[in-house]
Amino acid sequence: MGKISGDTGADARDKQASAAALFHPLAEELMAIAERLRDAAEQYPDAAYPEQPASVRSSRPGHSHLVLARKIYALRRKRASIFGNPDLFGEPAWDILLDLYIAQGEGKQVSVSSACIGSAAPATTGLRWLSVLADQGLVVRENDPEDHRRVLVRLTGAGLTAMDRFFEAVDF
């Protein structure tokens, strides 16, 4: 006998609930790790990253803006964790911009795949939003000079300026 068509939706919801229950502790652990890393980074905000090009190091956000960006990003992840469904609050472009702003402030390079992960969305959605942000002149993709298989992404001058302006407007 075949399945009753109504069972398919219930089965899918049960599988989603099972997956959520399975991954919730992992998400909590990752949030705790991220918080510890953020705290450590705040202790050393001006640490030099000699592997970075001078153009990236010279265009780093100010400390207070960086602290605020980290808090906003962490709150977005915590909100998704508490409500148990990150899809409720999806803003992949904003998550990418926050992630890149924080990385630039820390002098870190971000690969395209890492930026997609930072978008808190499926990889295809992250890639689509990276293209939109690039078309808007807010991010740029560059080949990694040390690993030609990898593509890096960073904020452009216009992207960094827009993010700085945002944090100046909300800094309290």
What per-residue confidence (pLDDT) applies to 52? Answer: 41
Instruction: Report strand pairing: 110-111 vs 139-143.
Output: unpaired
Work out the average pLDDT over 131-155: 94
Q: What is the DSSP string of 70-98?
A: HHHHHHHHHHHHHHT-GGGG--HHHHHHH
Distance CA 70, CA 127 (A): 22
Higher-scoring residue by pLDDT: 35, 113 = 113
3-state DSSP assignment of residue 119? coil
Tell me the domains of the chain and their CATH numbers: 9-170 (1.10.10.10)
Instruction: Give me the residue label for tokens 């990276």.
Output: 130
pLDDT for residue 94 is more than 80: yes
Tell which residue, 147, 131, 151, 128, has the closest CA to residue 139. Answer: 131
pLDDT for residue 63 is more than 90: no
